[in-house]
């Protein structure tokens, strides 16, 4: 029972330390995720602007290869993702309004072609959080008020998770060791000092018990030697305590 | 003996502390995002580029694509070989374009995954 209680206290302290470190980790992760969200939105805006230019130049004719080359000439494919560093978007999607309205494809948008946060297409829950961020930006051709289509960019948050762990792993480990050290020091500080009380005695109950047993044994041994008959004939072999006296 | 044991323990521990395993070594990878569009027939079409960032040329590189429906079942899987300027091997730093078209209806595709497979 004593060890179980001690083990539970240690486990509780470790849990508190882990919770503290986990809170720091989640804070760092959320900060980095917000940066990634803003980058995705900015990239979607840039691509939407380029898509508007492309369709105006080509009289609304579209070829995926042409558009890819157009983007490469205007921005540079490498530059498209350089800003992301850790979690570059894997797929960049162009959907036309007509296809969305006809139901040919689900873009995860509402009727006004704005992002629908409740759409299952825009969520992917894994490891207890939504690990996908989707940026959707409608684009317009000419002076039209209705969007011609949407640009959709998906980014995964999992690489951010590993990146935060990679950058702060040693810090978390050191923090774990330091907090454990602090917990131990706190334990030493709080530990009760046993004061010497002359009235109640200064020995533990168990120590007193063993002394009593020893006292009884020694008394018995002395008593035995008092009553026993000593061998006077062979004094070299037997040592008599009484004789010494 | 204790010193040796402590030294071995530290050696075992260092890789976990540095988290080096989380960083993958450079190889061939997608250059920029893959463009997803819909063709006239309502099928999904993908265009992209791959670059060889490794120190040596790679051969037999493949682009694999897997499409899943809402239930997580694979409805279509496509594998296409990447062809460089010297045939099947992609030289160091070379950029190769690829394009693929799905047979499945666009509205049935819920989740997509791209991966690259190659030998060094």
**pLDDT higher at B65 or B110:** B65
B42 touches chain A (CB under 8 A): yes
Tokens representing B99? 């394009």
A109 alpha carbon, distance to own chain's centre: 33
Q: How far is the CA of B102 from the CAs of A168, A181, A242, B36, B41, in angstroms?
A: 42, 59, 111, 11, 11
Question: Does A94 fall in a domain?
Answer: yes
A100 and A209 in a single domain? The answer is: no
A123 and A15 in a single domain? The answer is: yes
Q: What is the pLDDT of residue B22?
A: 47
In chain A, what is the straight-line distance between the N-terminal and C-terminal CA atoms, in Å?
52
pLDDT tens digits along A84-138? 666 778 888 999 888 888 888 888 888 788 888 777 777 766 666 677 888 899 9
Residues of B in contact with A120 (CB under 8 A): 70, 110
Contact criterion met (CB < 8 Å) for A91 and B114: yes
Question: Does A159 fall in a domain?
Answer: yes
Q: How far is the CA of B3 from the CAs of A227, B13, B54, in angstroms?
A: 61, 15, 40
Helix (H, G, I), strand (E, B) or coil at B17: helix
Inform me whether the pLDDT recorded for A179 exceeds 90. yes
Residues of B in contact with A89 (CB under 8 A): 33
Contact criterion met (CB < 8 Å) for A92 and B99: no
Q: Residue B57's pLDDT band (boundaries 50, 70, 90)?
A: confident
A209 and A97 in a single domain? The answer is: no
A134 and A221 in a single domain? The answer is: no
Domain assignment of residue A219, given as a range: 202-235
Inform me whether the pLDDT recorded for A70 exceeds 90. no
Q: Where are the beta strands (DSSP E) in B5-110?
A: 28-30, 34-38, 43-52, 58-68, 74-81, 89-90, 95-105
Mean pLDDT of B75-90: 88
Average pLDDT of chain A to the nearest whole number: 82
Q: List the single residue in A91, A153, A169 with the smallest CB-CB distance to B19.
A: A169
Question: Does A158 fall in a domain?
Answer: yes
Q: Residue B53's pLDDT band (boundaries 50, 70, 90)?
A: confident
d(CA B102, CA B43): 6
For the ranges A153-162, A192-201, B73-82, the lowest mean pLDDT is seen at: A192-201
Q: What is the pLDDT of residue B110?
A: 84
A215 and A109 in a single domain? The answer is: no
Helix (H, G, I), strand (E, B) or coil at B9: helix
Question: Does A53 fall in a domain?
Answer: yes
Q: Residue B15's pLDDT band (boundaries 50, 70, 90)?
A: low
Q: How far is the CA of B31 from the CAs of A68, A69, A185, A218, B40, in angstroms?
A: 12, 13, 54, 91, 26
Question: Does A13 fall in a domain?
Answer: yes
Q: What is the 3-state secondary structure (H, E, C) of A146-184?
A: CCCEEEEEEEECHHHHHHHHHHHHHHHHHHHHHHHHHHH
Inform me whether the pLDDT recorded for A239 exceeds 90. no
Question: Does A98 fall in a domain?
Answer: yes
Q: CB-based contacts of B75: which residues, under 8 Å, 6+ apart?
A: B67, B68, B69, B104, B108, B109
Q: What is the CATH number of domain B24-118?
A: 2.60.40.3230
Mean pLDDT of B44-66: 89
Mean pLDDT of A69-83: 78
The chain A residue lying nearest B31, using CA atoms, is A78
Q: What is the pLDDT of residue A188?
A: 87
B115 touches chain A (CB under 8 A): no
Domain ranges of chain B: 24-118
Closest-CA distance of chain B to residue A95, Å: 6
Query: Using beta carbons and an 8 Å cutoff, which residues of A are at the interface with B?
Result: 62, 64-65, 67-68, 71, 77-78, 80-81, 88-96, 99, 103-106, 120-121, 124, 153, 162, 165-166, 169-170, 173
Residues of A in contact with B48 (CB under 8 A): 68
Q: What is the pLDDT of residue A230?
A: 54
Tokens representing A190? 């709080």
Mean pLDDT of A193-215: 73
A151 and A104 in a single domain? The answer is: yes
Q: What is the pLDDT of residue B66?
A: 93
Give me the residue label for tokens 């000092």: A193
Q: List the single residue in B38, B45, B107 with the smallest CB-CB distance to A103.
A: B107
pLDDT tens digits along A4-48? 888 898 999 999 999 999 999 999 999 998 988 888 888 889 889
Most distant pair of Cα atoms in chain B: their distance:
74
Give me the residue label for tokens 């992609």: B90
Closest-CA distance of chain B to residue A22, Å: 16
Helix (H, G, I), strand (E, B) or coil at B118: strand
Of the candidates B101, B99, A82, B94, the residue with the CA atom closest to the CA atom of residue B118: B94
Question: Does A92 fall in a domain?
Answer: yes
Say if pTM beats, i.e. exceeds, 0.90: no
Q: Total domain count for chain A?
A: 2
Q: What is the pLDDT of residue A25?
A: 93
Establish whether this prediction's ipTM goes over 0.90: no
Residues of B in contact with A62 (CB under 8 A): 37
According to DSSP, residue B82 is labeled -
A42 and A126 in a single domain? The answer is: yes
Q: List the single residue in A90, A103, A166 with the smallest CB-CB distance to B22.
A: A166
Residues of B in contact with A95 (CB under 8 A): 37-38
B114 touches chain A (CB under 8 A): yes
**pLDDT higher at A51 or A194:** A51
Of A166, A190, A217, the residue that ends a domain is: A166
Q: What is the pLDDT of residue A104?
A: 84
Inform me whether the pLDDT recorded for B76 exceeds 80. yes
Q: What are phi and psi of B67, to 5 degrees?
A: -110, 135
Mean pLDDT of A199-222: 81
């Amino acid at each position: 029972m004593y060890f179980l209680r001690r083990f539970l206290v240690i486990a509780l302290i470790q849990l508190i330390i882990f919770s503290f470190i986990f809170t720091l980790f989640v804070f760092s992760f959320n900060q980095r995720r917000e940066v990634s969200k803003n980058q995705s939105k900015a990239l979607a805006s840039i691509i939407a602007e380029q898509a508007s230019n492309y369709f105006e130049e080509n009289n609304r004719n579209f070829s995926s290869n042409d558009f890819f080359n157009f983007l490469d000439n205007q921005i540079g494919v490498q530059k498209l993702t350089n800003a992301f560093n850790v979690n570059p978007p894997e797929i960049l999607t162009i959907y036309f309004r007509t296809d969305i309205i006809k139901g040919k494809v689900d873009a995860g948008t509402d009727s006004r072609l704005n992002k629908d946060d409740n759409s299952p297409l825009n969520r992917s829950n894994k490891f207890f959080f939504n690990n996908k961020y989707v940026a959707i930006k409608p684009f317009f051709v000419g002076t039209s008020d209705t969007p011609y289509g949407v640009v959709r960019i998906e980014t995964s948050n999992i690489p951010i998770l590993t990146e935060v762990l990679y950058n702060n792993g040693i810090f978390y480990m050191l923090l774990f060791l330091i907090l454990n050290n602090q917990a131990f020091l706190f334990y030493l500080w709080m530990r009760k000092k046993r004061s010497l009380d002359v009235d109640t005695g200064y020995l533990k109950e168990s120590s007193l018990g063993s002394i009593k047993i020893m006292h009884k044994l020694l008394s018995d041994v002395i008593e035995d030697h008092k009553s026993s008959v000593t061998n006077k004939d062979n004094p070299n072999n037997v040592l008599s305590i009484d004789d010494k006296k | 003996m204790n010193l040796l044991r402590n030294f071995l323990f530290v050696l075992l521990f260092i890789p976990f502390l540095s988290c080096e395993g989380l960083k993958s070594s450079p190889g061939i990878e997608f250059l920029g995002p893959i463009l997803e569009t819909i063709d006239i027939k309502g099928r999904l079409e993908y265009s992209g580029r791959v670059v060889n960032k490794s120190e040596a040329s790679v051969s037999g590189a493949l682009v694999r694509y897997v499409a899943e429906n809402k239930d997580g079942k694979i409805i279509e899987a496509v594998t296409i070989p990447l062809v460089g300027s010297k045939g099947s091997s992609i030289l160091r730093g070379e950029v190769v374009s690829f394009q693929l078209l799905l047979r499945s209806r666009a509205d049935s595709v819920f989740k997509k995954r791209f991966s690259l497979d190659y030998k060094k």
